[in-house]
A and B are shown apart, each in its own frame.
Chain A
Amino acid sequence: MSKDMVEVTARPRSLVDVPLHYCPGCTHGIIHRLVAEAIDSLGIRERTIGVASVGCSVFIYNYFDVDFQQAPHGRAPAVATGIKRVLPDRVVFTYQGDGDLASIGTAEILHAAARGERITVIFVNNAIYGMTGGQMAPTTLPEMTTTTTPYGRDVRQAGAALRVVELLAGIDGVAYAAREAVTSPARIHRARRAVEAAFRAQLEDRGLGIVELLSTCPVNWKLPPVEAIAWCEANMIPAFPLGVLKDTSGSRK
């Protein structure tokens, strides 16, 4: 490397320099980086405590240079509440998949939102259960084939996909609710800004901040990574509209 060259990108300080265990092309890696970048740019690494959930990201504590507690499936917002209430000047975030947050954990996220807990929720939605091998998620789209909807999700039997941030945005205690995708460089920039804004909702003591990030699951969707990205763009974005649904900061970022 020429010593004249200038780094345009760098590994974020808060992201530990170890290999990630995710499948090739899994967007968790992108999202981890965005969260680490937000933590770095806000200068909060040493007072941040993460709450890991149950899903492919269960080992997230290996990848961030911050304190972490591991929560039972779905319970991360409750664990986060316990931490934040006793350490109100620390920054507490949860990182949850669609099963953790939208299935078993619906009560916990809804009530953390209702209480206006000053926590930040990173919600990774890839419309399927990754870790357990590809079963239906609450956000699985109609007609989508999964191991528990082998003939395609039948809305009459299994319901339609749940749009989570819309539900939460309607709750007073939510200060920031947005949905972005990480399926292109431009979207990734927007996603990073949304993640930062969700942290700022906490730092500015305004309420709960949640970002839903549309993601892929190449292995369980049975698509190569690049095609999975395209599938997400073509099918998930129309079903889960992108944008900032709620922002009490008075400035749309």
Chain B
Amino acid sequence: MTACPEGDAPIGVIPPQRVLIAAERCKGCGLCVAVCPPEIMELGALNRLGYAVVGVTDQARCTSCTACALVCPEVAIIVLRPPRARQAPEGTK
């Protein structure tokens, strides 16, 4: 299995964003913060409606598990992953 390309990223390259948050839809409910396994989500600055919008503190530690998107009642989270390398074995998620 080839290593995730990110592991080969040279120092100084920003890791690709795996979690995209629609800031103006977020209501700061915190459900995603509570379910994130590596605990890399945190409520932060207020949006136009006065809600504390969630942000990802460390995209590099995200595994695209989608727990956040699953629990988000606003459908405000899109989860991405890097494309799989061709030789990845079947059944790898």
Give A contacts to B, CB under 8 Å.
1-2, 4-11, 15, 19-20, 22-30, 33, 184-185, 188-189, 218, 224-226, 229
Contacts and interface: CB of A to CB of B under 8 A. Distances in A.
Residue from the set B25, B34, B67, B73 with the largest chain A CB neighbour count within 10 Å: B73
B29 A7 contact: no
Interface of B: 16-18, 20, 24-25, 27-31, 33-35, 51, 64-67, 69-75, 77-83
Residue from the set A1, A8, A11 with the largest chain B CB neighbour count within 10 Å: A8
A11 B79 CA distance: 11
Contacts, number: 93
B49 to A, nearest CB: 9
Nearest to A34: B70
A23 to B, nearest CB: 8
Contacts of A10: 78
Nearest to B93: A8
B16 A4 contact: yes
Q: Is the interface of A mostly helix, strand, loop or mixed?
A: loop
Contact of A29 (B24, B28, B72): B72
Contacts of A9: 66, 69-70, 77-79
B81 A29 contact: no
8 contacts: A2-B16, A6-B81, A8-B64, A15-B75, A20-B75, A25-B30, A226-B31, A226-B33
Contacts of A226: 29-31, 33-34
A7 B83 CA distance: 9
A1 B82 contact: no
A158 B20 CA distance: 47
B37 to A, nearest CB: 10
B8 to A, nearest CB: 14
B31 A229 contact: yes
A191 to B, nearest CB: 10
Contacts of A188: 70-71
